A and B are shown apart, each in its own frame.
Chain A
Amino acid sequence: MIRVLLRAVLSLLLTLACASVLVFAAMQVLPGDPAEVMLGVNARPDTLAALRAQLGLDQPLPVRYAAWAAGFFSGDLGTSNTYAVPVMELVRERLSVSLPLALLALALTVAIALPLGMLAAARRGRLADRGVLLVTQLGIAVPNFWFAMLLVLLFAITWRWLPPGGFPGWEAGVLPALAALLLPAVALALPQGAILAQVMRSALIDTLDQDFIRTARAKGLTRGEALRRHALRNALIPVLTVVGLQFSFLLAGTIIIENVFFLPGLGRLVFQAINQRDLAVVQSVVMLLVASVVIVNFLVNLAYAIVDPRLRGRA
C-alpha cells in the first residue's frame, strides 16, 4: 500500500510539473501583450518598455517560467494587473465562496443519486425504475440556470425563505453564508445528481447480474442485503470516477450559476481576467484549477485502491 502511495505521489508531482509547463506555454502563445493592453495603443514606446521591465516581460522565457513556477509552489501567485492586488488574495477570497459551494453541491449530488440509483436498480424494469429514469432524464435535459431561476422564484421571491442572491461573506456568520449558498448548490446538484443516479443505476444493474450476487443469495441473504453488502461496493468504481469529474466541474465550471446568484466565485474571476487580459490572474488560476483536478484524480485513484483490493498491488 505504501509503495502504491509513493508511486501515486510521484506521478502526481510529475503531472503537475508537466501541466505547469503547458499552462505557461499556452499563455505565451496567446496574442496580445499585457503591457500594451494596460497602457492602450497610443502609449509611448519608452513607457511601454518600462512597464514591460516592471512586469518582467523582457526576461527570457525559461527565466520567467522558473520565476512563476517557483512563486506558484511557494504560494506567491504574482500581482493582478487590473486589480493591483496579490493574486493569492483574490483567489483566497473567491475560493471561500467556490469551494464550500462545490462541496455542498457535491454532497447534495450524492444525496440525490445514491437512493435514486439504488431504488431504480433494485426495482429494475418496474414502475419505480421507470419513474427514476424519467425524472433523471428531465434533470439532465433541463439547463441548471433554469432550475436556478425557478428556485429563486419559489424560495426567495414567493416564500422568502432564502436570499435570492449575493454572498454576505463568512464574516456575517456561518448560517447566513450557508443560506446564500444553498439555492445555488441545489441548482448545481439537480442535473449532476441526475447524471450520477443514472451512472449508479447502470453500475448497480451490471453488478447485480454478476455470479457473486447469486452466490450471496444462495448463502441466504435477502435481495436487499445482497444489494447493500455486495453490489453497492462493487458498483462504486464507476461512481467514484464520475464524482471526481463532477467535483472538478463544480469548482470552476459554475460561472452561469454564479451569475444568476451574483456570487463572487472562481468562475467569474477567470472570465473577467480573460476579458481584461490579466495574465497573472489567468495563468495562476488556471494552474490552480489544473492542480485541483489532478489532486482530485489522485484522491479518486486512492479511493479505488481502498475499495478494490485487486488495485492495491499495482497503481
Chain B
Amino acid sequence: MTLLSVENLHVGVGGRDILRGIDFSVARGETLGLVGESGSGKSMTALALMRLLPDAAMVRGHVRLAGKDLLALDETAMCAVRGGRIGMVFQEPMSALDPLMSIGDQVAEGLRVHLPLGRRAARERAAAVLARVGLDPAQIAPDRFPHELSGGQRQRVVIAMAIAMRPDLLIADEPTTALDVTVQAQILALLKEIVREDGPGLLLISHDLAVIGAMADRIAVLHRGEIVETGRAPGFFRRAVHPRARALCAAAAAMPKAPPAGPVPEGPPLLAAEGLTRRYLLARPYPFARRPFRLALDNVSLAIHAGESVALIGESGSGKSTLARLLLGLDRPDAGTVTYRGGDIACADATALRAMRRDVQAVFQDPFGSLDPRRRAGWIVAEPLHGPQDAGEDVRARVAAALEEVGLSADDADRYPHAFSGGQRQRIALARALITRPRLIVLDEAVSSLDMSIRAQILALLADLRARHGLAYLFITHDLRVAEAVSTRVLVMHDGRVVEEGASADVLRAPRHPYTRALLASAPDLSALLSAGNA
C-alpha cells in the first residue's frame, strides 16, 4: 500500500529550478533509496517533503502522505506531521543536536510537542526510546550532553528523536556519510531493524551506491532535479537503461586497475619514519597537576620508496592525519625520527627543509577549504615556486603545463576558486602539488569528499601521473576500495598504532589482524546491485 506518493514536485529557488517535476512513491515497510551526485537535488527533496525549505523556495506539485496532500496543509497542521508522522535523520550528527540540551531532554521535547505528557513521563519515554536505539540508560545516561558522545552515538540520538513518535515515514538524508565504516554498518543495521519492527516507509538518501545497495528495496536515481531511473534494487545496475543512471553505476564500480605489485623495492627509502610517537597534552585537571596526554601516535614506523604507492588505512582518530603532519615536517614528534633520503628532517636547516618540501607535496581532503578564495588559480598553483632554482623559469608556462597535466586548461589560471566545481578544485590542488616536480605526494583523504564519478576520474588521473613521472604516493584514506585500487602496499592504523602491514592484495583479501577483518566486514559492497537479480 502506498504510503507516500510524490507527484510532479517542482522546487525553484531564486528563479533556478532545483527539482523539475519528480515522481516517486514509498510503501509501508519499504525502503526507497534516492541516489544522486551532489547538487542533484536529493536534500532539497527531503526538505520539500518536510516543508522545511527556505522561505524563498517556490514549491509546486503534490506530496501525499496516506492520501493527504502535505503541501496543502497549514503550518500548524504541518508541525503535527513533522516529528509526528514523518521523522527525519540528518547527515551531520555533530551539528544536528543542540549542544546545550541533554540527549534525554532533546528526545523528550519531541514527545511533548505531540503528546500531552508531563516532564517526567516524557523523560521516561525518552529513556525507553534511547534504549531502543542502543543507548542503554545504564551506560549512556539520558542526562548526558551531545559532546560527551561519539559520532555514532549521536547519530543514534538523532534516530531516537526521529522514531520517538513511531512515524509512518522515516527520511534519512545521508545518515552515515559522516561516520566511520564500522559505525556506518551499525547505524544501517539499526535503521533496517526499525523498518522491520515498526514498519515505517524509509526514504534513504545517499550519494553512496554501496549504502543504497545494502539497504534499499527500490532505487531512484536523481540527476539535475529529475528522476531518470527507478527500479528494484537487486540487479539494478545490470538493468539500468538511462545513460546517467548507467554512468553513476559505472562510476561507483569503476576503480582504476590496481598497480602491479612488482618486486619489493630495494635500496634506501625516499621517506622513512622510525618509532614515531606523538602525544597531545590535555588541560590540567587542577592547578599545578601533571598534564595528562592522549597518545595520538604510538611507535609508528614506515618507509616509502621512490615510485611506490602506499596506502594508509584507518578510521577517524586512528592517527592518520597526525602521521601525515609529522611526515610533512609540519609538526614534530615527541619521539622517533623522520628521515628524507637519509637525512633527519628534525635536524635539517631551512634550506634542506625547503628542498624536502619541494620534493614532498601534499593534497588535502577539503577542496573548498584548501584553496585561498581570494587568489586566482594561477597564483595558487605557482605558490610553491619560490626557491632560487625557479628564478629564471617562465612561471606562466609552468603553471599552464601543470594545469593541462591535471586536465584543466591554461586559461583557468585567471579564474578564482569559487568558479570551479569540487572535482576541479581538487585538480587545482593537485596541479599545485605537481608544479615543483615532486618525488612524493601525500594525499590525505584527497578523494573522500568527491562524487563517485569525479572520484573515479581523479583516481585515474593519479594513476596516469604516477606512470608518467614515477611519483610515489602516500594515500591516506578510510575507504578500503580506494586503498586497494591505488596502492601496492597498505598499512592499517588503529588507535595510533600500525596493526597490519603488507602487500595490498594480501592484506585486503586475507587480513590477519582482527581490526582489519572488522573493517573489511563492515564495508558495504555493490554486489547486490551487480548481481543478476531475478527481475
Q: Which residues of A contact B (CB under 8 A)?
A: 3, 6-7, 10, 210-212, 214-222, 225, 229-230, 233-234, 307-310, 314
A3–B101 contact, CB under 8 A? Answer: no
Q: Residue A6 contacts which of B83, B114, B286 (CB distance < 8 angstroms)? A: B286
A309–B52 contact, CB under 8 A? Answer: no
Would you give the shortest CB distance from A208 to chain B, in whole angstroms? 12
Residues of B within 8 A of A210 (CB): 95
Most buried by B among A10, A214, A215, A222: A215
Stretch at the interface among B84-92, B313-321, B486-494: B84-92
B113–A220 contact, CB under 8 A? Answer: yes
Residues of B within 8 A of A233 (CB): 100
Query: Is B98 located at the chain interface by the 8 A CB criterion?
Result: yes
Q: Residue B286 contacts which of A7, A212, A221, A309 (CB distance < 8 angstroms)? A: A7
Residues of B within 8 A of A211 (CB): 90, 92, 95-96
Q: A219-B82, A220-B84, A221-B83 are in contact. List 12 more A-B contacts (CB 8 A).
A: A10-B287, A210-B95, A212-B98, A215-B97, A218-B82, A218-B87, A218-B90, A220-B79, A220-B113, A230-B98, A309-B100, A310-B147
A191 CA to B335 CA, complexed, in Å: 57
Nearest A residue to B51 via CB reads A217
A215 CA to B83 CA, complexed, in Å: 9
Q: Which residues of chain B (128-169) have a CB below 8 Å from chain A?
A: 145, 147, 158, 161-162
Q: Chain A binding site: helix, strand, loop or mixed by DSSP?
A: helix
* Given A211-B96, A218-B88, A3 and B286 contact (CB-CB distance below 8 Å): yes
Provide the B73-116 mask, 1 if CB < 8 A to any CB of A, else 0: 00110011111100110101001111111100000011001100
Query: Is B50 located at the chain interface by the 8 A CB criterion?
Result: yes
* Given A215-B96, A215-B161, A309-B147, A3 and B52 contact (CB-CB distance below 8 Å): no
B99–A220 contact, CB under 8 A? Answer: no
B161–A219 contact, CB under 8 A? Answer: yes
B145–A310 contact, CB under 8 A? Answer: yes
Query: Is B388 located at the chain interface by the 8 A CB criterion?
Result: no
Residues of B within 8 A of A214 (CB): 52, 90, 96
Query: Is B465 located at the chain interface by the 8 A CB criterion?
Result: no
Would you give the shortest CB distance from A295 to chain B, in whole angstroms? 20
Q: Which residues of B contact A (CB under 8 A)?
A: 50, 52, 75-76, 79-84, 87-88, 90, 92, 95-102, 109-110, 113-114, 145, 147, 158, 161-162, 283, 285-287
Would you give the shortest CB distance from A220 to chain B, in whole angstroms? 3
Q: Which 6 A-B pairs have the closest CB atoms?
A: A220-B83, A219-B110, A219-B83, A211-B95, A218-B88, A309-B145
A220 CA to B82 CA, complexed, in Å: 5
A219–B75 contact, CB under 8 A? Answer: no
Would you give the shortest CB distance from A93 to chain B, in whole angstroms? 39
Q: Residue A219 contacts which of B102, B113, B285 (CB distance < 8 angstroms)? A: B113
A218–B50 contact, CB under 8 A? Answer: yes
B82–A212 contact, CB under 8 A? Answer: no
B100–A307 contact, CB under 8 A? Answer: yes
* Given A210-B95, A309-B145, A309-B147, A215 and B90 contact (CB-CB distance below 8 Å): yes
A314–B283 contact, CB under 8 A? Answer: yes
* Given A212-B95, A215-B158, A217-B82, A234 and B100 contact (CB-CB distance below 8 Å): yes
Nearest A residue to B145 via CB reads A309
A261 CA to B83 CA, complexed, in Å: 57
B114–A220 contact, CB under 8 A? Answer: yes
Nearest A residue to B102 via CB reads A309
Most buried by A among B50, B87, B98: B98
A220–B145 contact, CB under 8 A? Answer: no
A218–B83 contact, CB under 8 A? Answer: yes
A233 CA to B65 CA, complexed, in Å: 35
Nearest A residue to B148 via CB reads A309
Residues of B within 8 A of A225 (CB): 113
A310 CA to B99 CA, complexed, in Å: 8
Residues of A within 8 A of B90 (CB): 211, 214-215, 218
A309 CA to B101 CA, complexed, in Å: 8
Nearest A residue to B171 via CB reads A218
Nearest A residue to B91 via CB reads A211
Nearest B residue to A313 via CB reads B283
Residues of A within 8 A of B286 (CB): 3, 6-7
Residues of B within 8 A of A307 (CB): 100
26 A-B residue pairs with Cβ-Cβ distance under 8 Å, sorted by A, are A10-B287, A211-B92, A212-B97, A212-B98, A215-B161, A216-B109, A217-B50, A217-B52, A218-B88, A218-B90, A219-B83, A219-B113, A220-B79, A220-B80, A220-B83, A220-B84, A220-B114, A221-B79, A229-B109, A233-B100, A234-B98, A308-B99, A309-B102, A309-B147, A310-B145, A314-B283
Nearest B residue to A218 via CB reads B88
A234 CA to B83 CA, complexed, in Å: 22
A220 CA to B108 CA, complexed, in Å: 12
Nearest A residue to B164 via CB reads A219
Residues of B within 8 A of A234 (CB): 98-100
Nearest A residue to B78 via CB reads A220
Residues of B within 8 A of A3 (CB): 285-286
Would you give the shortest CB distance from B189 to chain A, in whole angstroms? 22
Residues of B within 8 A of A6 (CB): 286
Most buried by B among A7, A211, A310: A211
Would you give the shortest CB distance from B480 to chain A, in whole angstroms? 29
Residues of A within 8 A of B161 (CB): 215, 219
Nearest B residue to A307 via CB reads B100
Residues of A within 8 A of B101 (CB): 230
Would you give the shortest CB distance from B339 to chain A, in whole angstroms? 38
Nearest B residue to A308 via CB reads B100
Residues of A within 8 A of B50 (CB): 217-218
Nearest A residue to B147 via CB reads A310
A310 CA to B144 CA, complexed, in Å: 11
Nearest B residue to A237 via CB reads B100
A222 CA to B109 CA, complexed, in Å: 12
A222–B75 contact, CB under 8 A? Answer: yes
